[in-house]
Structure formats: C-alpha cells, structure tokens
Structure 1
Amino acid sequence: MFGYRDCVVEPASGAEAGAEPAGGAEAAEMQIEGGGEAGGLAGAHLEGACAEEAAGAGAQTPQLAANLPAALRPKVRVRMDLAYDGTFFRGWAAQPGLRTVQGELTEALSTILRVPVQLTVAGRTDAGVHASHQVVHFDVDDEAWQALSGRNGVDPAQALRRRAQALLKRAANPKTTSRPELGLVALGESAGNGADIVVGAVSQVGGDFDARFSALRRTYRYRVADGVARHDPRLRSSVLWTDQELDLEAMNRSLQPLLGEHEFLSYCKPRQGASTIRSLLAAAWSRPESGVDAGLAVFEVSADAFCHHMVRSLVGATLTVGQGRNSEEWPAELLARRSRELAAPLAPAHGLTLEAITYPEPRRWAEQAQAARVLRTSAADD
C-alpha cells in the first residue's frame, strides 16, 4: 500500500506519469497506455510536507482517510490476468461509441469499485486479435479495495475476480462463447462460460510493478490452416485459411536475418515520436503433430515489445515466401530498406493471439520498467 498527494512530486527511479488516451478513435490509437494519475505516480518520492502527510495517511482511520484528497489516500496496486476472444471487439484501446476490451473492462471495474479506474496494459491488441494471456494493472484507494471483503471477510482479489466476471458475462455479445480449444479459459476456472473476456487471476502487487514496462517479453502465435491442414469451421474466427500448402522450411530460413535488434520500420505502422527499433528474440513456423494446433501451420514469435502491426507484417511477409510469391531473401531485403513505401503485407487480424507476457522476479520489476522506458519512452506495443 502506498500514498501520495497533489503537491511536490518527484518520480522515483523507473516511474513516470502515464499518458491517457484522448478523445476520438484516431487519438486513442495514437496514445500510449498509461496508469493516469494513480498509475503514473505509484512509487513516487514525496518531499517535505508531502512526505509527512503521505506517511500519516496510512495511519489514519478509514473514516479520516475517506476525507483526505483523492491523491493522498492510501492506494493499492492490482494486477489482473485475463483472456479474450477479440472477434467482436474493435481492439484493446477504448474508443468512443465502439466496443473495446479496455472499455468493457474499465466499465465493469469502475462499477464494482465505485471509483474511476485507469488501466495500464501489457500489449495493445488490434481489432479482431485474441489474447489467451493479457495482463493489466490499476491503482485503487485502499478503502475501496478493503470494502470488497464485505461482512464475510473474503479475499478482496477473489471477490473482485468473481464480480468482474459476472458483469463481463452479462455484457458479452450473445454471439460469443469462451474458446477453451485455444486456451482462452486456461488462466482460471471456466467461470466465464459465454463471456468473451475471462478474468483468470487478480492479485495485489507492489507499486513498482508495471504491466507494460516491467515485461521482459511478449509472445504471439499466428495460426494458419493451409492446403494440408484440416479446415475446421469451429476455428474460422481464430485461424487463417488458405488452400495452398506452405513451405515452412523456406519461411523459417527467411526469418533468420530478422532475429536480433533491428530497425523494423518496414514492418511497423509508426506512431508519432515512437521508436520502431525492436529486439526479435525468437521467431519460427512449425506444424504441431498433437494438441489443439495439430496439423496447423503455427508461427510463434517473441520480442521485448512489438511496434504497431509488426507481428502481422512478419506473418504477411513470410506467407508470401511460403507460397512462392517472394524469394527467401525478400523479408531481409525489406527490413534493410527501412521504408514504409514498400511495407510488408499485413496478415488478417483474426489468426493472431497474444499468448504470454513474461515478467522478471518481483525484485527486478522497477529495474526492468526503468530500462524499458529508456528504450521506448513513447512507443506503443502491438
């Protein structure tokens, strides 16, 4: 638990004020996910009278704490792990008048906690992209957090998970279902049957945890049913279909020059002021012989972070190689051009799933967040 107020605030090492998406779809697309007032100042150093008042706030009774200015009330940081079927969402980022994952989740949490909630997300997904493991964090007054326990004294985290899932299920598009065949309920019990957002876990974490900047890597998978794979109509909203057999060996050879740190401008839709330099940690196509992906052509890729459209551009470029429409050298030649004039083709969104977010051990959360901010102060994750 931590506290702060609106006075002299000096960000701690690895902490910075987050940016809040402004109005309009285009503006929301351009903005960076941030923690807002609470998320951006979590872990900040307070000096002088601020430090004394913040220290005293934690010792106040609940009645006195409730009378303090919002910025001075003791806070808790909450981590939430979730999954979603992106079919009926216009992406992660909240946009006026459109159904988005952030919009649905924010509304549910604000209703339960009875206070505004601002979310920071590990990776922003495009319209139609799914997630089997997404991570967000938000800050909330300790009083509102403890109130979740109710008279029975249940764990606030479990109470929030159950209530949030109930609201999300109620708000779900009636055409959607949970997708257990893709692991979309793998993070927890199947409490979200019929919902297209499933809350897998909720936990209270230290103020130095940042869902976005503390992450070491993001891992995505893209699934294709090609000419030798079974075309299962139940998976049509999460698997790309093509009648031609793909040459996976050629596709993997074409990926080798792209591994490591590069300027990926040819594979990204740049945002104003954002870096397109990324470290591609692993990338490979395979055809699993067993499991839910048996027979499919599956692309798995990991990076420290992805710039906008980067994963789908990597898929699109290598698909042209696997179909014989471009040479194995073409993806590397495209990378070297560092130009949007001949950008990589963009694969359809529905075949893509955010599979995992990897974090360091808790004692390294702040260190990792600080390092990530230095590299990508204004970049936005895909």
Structure 2
Amino acid sequence: MRLRIDLAYDGGDFHGWATQPDLRTVQGELETALATALRMPEAKVVCAGRTDTGVHARGQVVHLDVPEADLAASAGRSTAPAPVALGHRLNGLLPADVRVRRVTEAPPGFDARFSAIWRRYAYRIADLPRAVDPLRRRHVLTWPRPLDLEAMDTAAVDLVGEHDFAAFCKRREGATTIRHLLDLSWTRDDTGVAVATVRADAFCHHMVRSLMGCLVTIGEGRRPASWAGDVLRAEERDPAVPVLPAHGLTLEEVGYPPDDELAARAEVARRVRVR
C-alpha cells in the first residue's frame, strides 16, 4: 500500500533534503527511521519538493510504498490504526529537528511529487530594528536596511504567470526552466517581519531565493520595479541578481487536486514543458 507522510523540519543542520553519502540529510534521517520502524532492509520515499541545504519545511509531503503485512506488524500492540501507530513510532526514532505530523493511507493515484498542483513557500526578512529577534535568527534573514514592500509588490506583478525562469534558476542538464508562478506578494507580520508568499506549480533550483534577491534589490531602491521583468525576459542568469541565504526560506504547504484527479495530474506533470 502507499502511505502519505506529512512532515516538518528545521533545515539548519541538514545538507538539504536528498540523501548524500556521509552527509546528514532529511531524507536520510527519515528513511533510516522508516527502515527501523517497519523492520525493512531499506525504505525509499518520494517527496513533493527537494529543499536545499538550510531550507526549512512545515508542509513537506512524501509517499512510501510498503507491504501491508509489514505495516501491520510495525504497529505491535498499539490499538491505533497502523498508519497512526507508525507516525508515533517514527517520532520516537527521529531527531528533534524532524517531526512527522501525519501518516495516512494515500488515495489511489497519489504521487507526492507529480500529483501536486502547487507548492507554497514563505521567505522572511527582518529589515527593521524592531523586527530583529535573536530567537528567530535561524529562520528569518536579518537585513541591514529597510525595504520598500510596495515597490517589491509592483515588481512581482511582472513575474506572475507561466514563463521561462532561466534567469532565476540554476540550470540542470535536460531539465526545463518553464514554471507557472501563481502568486507572489509581500506583507508584514505582527512582529514587523517582511514575509514573501510565493506559490507555483513547481520551482527549479535556487528559483525562490533568486526571485527574493531580485526583489530585495528593488526594495532597497537600487533598481526600478521594472528591472524584475527585464531580468525575466533576458532568460539568462544576471550576476546582479543575488541568491539570498537559505535560512529565511520555508516550504509551508503543498496543494493537491481532488482524489479522483490525482492520477491524471501526475501524468500531466511528468511531461516536459516547452513553449
């Protein structure tokens, strides 16, 4: 059977999501705990979106295929449903910077990666003295100058929609950089922290942090709001666009269609997009 696992983690002490030899990763910790809990030689998971080194998550989603007999056996004497019992056991095995929020049986056709219709990230910046909180320093970027959020919102309008985001992505051989950016906006939370909410069908490597770097450059007044659109249309990396640090970025949520559309969505998402 296929399980859906929802989890959160503090990425500060991880070398990203994906398993790497001799490095501590979120996937490595989760798969080790799953193999122990399920008494399996190995357990391989698929995630909704790989996060880079230092990036956090509140709403990561993964799936795992496991024989029903192994899942039932892992529950032991627990009276809870087997997926729930597995979640409890995983949290007893995982380190404190990774928490399983829920384990459920996935509906037919569910694929954590390809069934997703959007991913939502937040990027947090403390650009005002009153917003700088040393207790949040691992999750909020401290910026030395105030930012003009109105100018950043104006610039973001040119980025929304389906475009080739090659100017904001680290290219990978054979991978497309065409993405549909659904929305991007800035607000301040009740502590004064500037929060960018960015949602797209998918993101390529370094895309969110590069978008943030472009908009912060505009927010400081060093470039006009029109610069974001100019960078986008160039379709090549601009060295004037900084990639902001990873620790301000959090994967907040992954969206999926209704259960009866999951398989169809996965089929569409596997196709390489071209213009």
> What does residue 174 of structure 2 align with?
273
**Normalising to structure 2: TM-score of the pair?**
0.96
Cα displacement string for residues 41-64 of structure 1 (whole angstroms, at most 9, x for unaligned residues)? xxxxxxxxxxxxxxxxxxxxxxxx
Instruction: Choose the corresponding residue for 2:51, options 125, 143, 167.
Output: 125
Instruction: Choose the corresponding residue for 1:154, options 80, 85, 93.
Output: 80
Instruction: Choose the corresponding residue for 1:199, options 100, 111, 117.
Output: 100
> What does residue 214 of structure 1 align with?
115
Q: Is the 8 A contact 1:334 1:343 kept in 2?
A: no
RMSD between aligned alpha carbons? Answer: 1.5
> What does residue 69 of structure 2 align with?
143
Instruction: Choose the corresponding residue for 2:11, options 86, 94, 103.
Output: 86
Cα displacement string for residues 256-285 of structure 1 (whole angstroms, at most 9, x for unaligned residues)? 111100000000001110000000000011
Q: Is the 8 A contact 1:266 1:342 kept in 2?
A: no
Cα displacement string for residues 158-196 of structure 1 (whole angstroms, at most 9, x for unaligned residues)? 11111110110xxx3xxxxxxxxxxxxxxxxxxxxxx10
> What does residue 369 of structure 1 align with?
266
Q: Is the 8 A contact 1:81 1:136 kept in 2?
A: yes
> What does residue 202 of structure 2 align with?
305
4+ aligned runs moved over 3 Å, structure 1: 151-154
Shift of residue 129 of structure 1?
Answer: 0.4
> What does residue 134 of structure 1 align with?
60
> What does residue 318 of structure 1 align with?
215
Identity of aligned residues (%): 50
Q: Is the 8 A contact 1:334 1:342 kept in 2?
A: no
User: Residue 349 and residue 284 in structure 1: after superposition, are their counterparts in 2 closer, same or farther (change >3 A)?
Assistant: same
Shift of residue 342 of structure 1?
Answer: 3.7
Instruction: Specify the code of the residue in structure 1 equivalent to 2:222.
Output: R
Q: Any gaps of 5 or more consecutive residues in structure 2?
A: none
Cα displacement string for residues 58-97 of structure 1 (whole angstroms, at most 9, x for unaligned residues)? xxxxxxxxxxxxxxxxxx1010000000010010000000
Number of residue pairs matched by the alignment:
273
Instruction: Specify the code of the residue in structure 2 equivalent to 1:79.
Output: R
Shift of residue 341 of structure 1?
Answer: 5.2
> What does residue 185 of structure 1 align with?
none
Distance 1:93 1:343 in 2: 29
User: Residue 297 and residue 315 in structure 1: after superposition, are their counterparts in 2 closer, same or farther (change >3 A)?
Assistant: same
Question: Which stretch shifts more, 336-345 or 76-85?
Answer: 336-345
SS in 1 for 2:264: helix
Shift of residue 243 of structure 1?
Answer: 2.1
Q: Any gaps of 5 or more consecutive residues in structure 1?
A: 1-75, 173-194, 378-382
Q: Relative contact order (C-alpha < 8 Å, sep 6+): which is higher?
A: 2
1:345 partnered with 2:246: no
Instruction: Specify the code of the residue in structure 1 equivalent to 2:9.
Output: Y
Q: Is the 8 A contact 1:214 1:360 kept in 2?
A: yes
> What does residue 166 of structure 1 align with?
92
Correspondence list, 1:107-126, <5 A: 107-115=32-40, 116-126=42-52
User: Residue 81 and residue 328 in structure 1: after superposition, are their counterparts in 2 closer, same or farther (change >3 A)?
Assistant: same
Instruction: Specify the code of the residue in structure 2 equivalent to 1:350.
Output: H
Cα displacement string for residues 312-339 of structure 1 (whole angstroms, at most 9, x for unaligned residues)? 0000000000111212111111111111
1:334 partnered with 2:235: no
Q: Is the 8 A contact 2:75 2:86 kept in 1?
A: no
Instruction: Specify the code of the residue in structure 1 equivalent to 2:75.
Output: S
1:246 partnered with 2:140: no
SS in 2 for 1:321: helix
Distance 2:238 2:209 in 1: 17
User: Residue 229 and residue 310 in structure 1: after superposition, are their counterparts in 2 closer, same or farther (change >3 A)?
Assistant: farther
> What does residue 164 of structure 2 align with?
263
Q: Which has the larger radius of gyration?
A: 1
- Identify the structure with the greater strand proportion: 2
